[in-house]
């Protein structure tokens, strides 16, 4: 069989990428092999997307494989590396034809990846959960053997689930603290806005709808117009009006400082977990 894309791990994030790659025809189902240990999950992926499935991780390395995508839990990385040791050691293909290894394993460094996949091009990536609806944010950092074509491949794949930026590895913990953990902060913001609406007398369902659409619409407005958030805030705050009264209360409560400290705390925790 001819395999171009090997996916190790058919969980939520793995399936998210797989579904978008096939929908956008970046890969045909016949080009894909998914390695997944759960029998029920294998059957679902095979039926849903028409891809080949296996329980043997080593089978994703074929003479035609272009990308090996790691989407498993970080705790199983050591066992995974041992599985691949013999396969990689006996691979005599020149560097230019070796597959690109892309990892979304949190906390697994480029040094660890390159030790497990010697002389292979490796890219470490950190996507976030909005990728499941095609609105994700992914940061990537390349390893020592990656070239321009590998960068473009990774950007093309992750662009299928949102936007992509390239950063140096020493910034990956900060990426985790901001965009990796950020959806939780935004979810708290939406929940708090809705609770405020209820406290002000709105029915819960309407308060939820107002809060969610306000956050969604504001993000879209900032994204499409490229204006600075401070400029949008100034446009909404009229002298002596309702908005400036609310903003003043947020300032008294340390709203901005709390978000800044949340990103810093998550960054520090990511650094600790990486050790």
Query: Could you read off the pLDDT of 96-148 as tens digits, one per residue?
Result: 678 999 999 988 999 999 999 988 999 999 999 999 999 999 999 999 999 99
Tell me the backbone φ, ψ of residue 52, rounded to 5 degrees: -80, 145
Quote the pLDDT of residue 90. Answer: 65
Quote the pLDDT of residue 21. Answer: 94
Tell me the backbone φ, ψ of residue 140, rounded to 5 degrees: -125, 150
The model's pLDDT over 142-201, given as tens digits with 9 standing for 90+, comes to: 999 999 999 999 999 999 999 999 999 999 999 999 999 999 999 999 999 999 999 999
- For the chain, where are the E strands, in sequence order? 5-8, 32-35, 52-54, 67-70, 100-103, 122-126, 136-142, 162-166
- Per the rule left: phi > 0, alpha: psi between -120 and 50, beta: everything else, 231 is alpha
Q: In 10 A of CB 59, how many CB atoms?
A: 16
Find the mean pLDDT for residues 27-35: 95
Quote the pLDDT of residue 91. Answer: 65
- The pTM score is 0.89
**Location of each CATH 3.40.50.720 domain in the chain:** 5-171
Tell me the backbone φ, ψ of residue 240, rounded to 5 degrees: 65, 15
Q: Which CATH superfamily is domain 180-274 in?
A: ProC C-terminal domain-like (1.10.3730.10)
The model's pLDDT over 215-260, given as tens digits with 9 standing for 90+, comes to: 999 999 999 999 999 999 999 999 999 999 999 999 999 999 999 9
- In the block, tokens 């849903």 appear at 48
Quote the pLDDT of residue 62. Answer: 87
The model's pLDDT over 56-108, given as tens digits with 9 standing for 90+, comes to: 999 998 889 999 999 998 888 989 888 888 777 666 565 667 899 999 998 89
Quote the pLDDT of residue 45. Answer: 96
**Location of each CATH 1.10.3730.10 domain in the chain:** 180-274
CATH level 2 (architecture), domain 5-171: 3-Layer(aba) Sandwich (3.40)
CA distance 150 to 31: 18
Under 8 Å between Cβ of 232 and 221 = yes
């Amino acid at each position: 069989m001819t395999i171009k894309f090997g996916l190790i791990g058919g969980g939520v994030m793995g399936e998210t990428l797989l579904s978008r790659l096939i929908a956008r025809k970046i890969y045909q189902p016949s080009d894909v092999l998914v390695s997944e240990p759960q029998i029920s999950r294998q059957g679902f992926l095979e039926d849903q997307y028409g891809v080949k499935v296996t329980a043997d991780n080593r089978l994703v390395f074929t003479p035609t494989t272009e990308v090996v995508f790691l989407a498993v839990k970080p705790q199983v990385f050591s066992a995974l590396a041992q599985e691949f040791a013999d396969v990689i050691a006996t691979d005599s293909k020149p560097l230019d034809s070796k597959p690109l290894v892309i990892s979304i394993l949190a906390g697994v460094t480029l040094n660890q990846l390159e030790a497990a996949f010697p002389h292979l091009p490796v890219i470490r990536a950190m996507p976030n959960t909005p990728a499941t609806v095609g609105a994700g944010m992914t940061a990537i950092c390349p390893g020592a053997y990656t070239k321009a074509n590998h960068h473009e491949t990774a950007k093309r794949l992750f662009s299928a689930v949102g936007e992509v930026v390239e950063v140096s590895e020493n910034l990956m913990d900060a990426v985790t603290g901001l965009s990796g953990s950020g959806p939780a902060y935004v979810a708290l913001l939406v929940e708090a806005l809705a609770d405020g609406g209820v406290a002000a007398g709105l029915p819960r369902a309407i308060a939820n709808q107002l809060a969610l659409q306000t956050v969604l619409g504001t993000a879209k407005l900032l994204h499409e117009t490229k204006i600075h958030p401070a400029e949008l805030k100034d446009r909404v705050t009229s002298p002596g009006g309702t908005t400036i009264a609310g903003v003043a209360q947020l300032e008294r409560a340390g709203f901005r400082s709390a978000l800044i400290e949340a990103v810093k705390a998550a960054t520090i925790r990511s650094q600790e977990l990486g050790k």
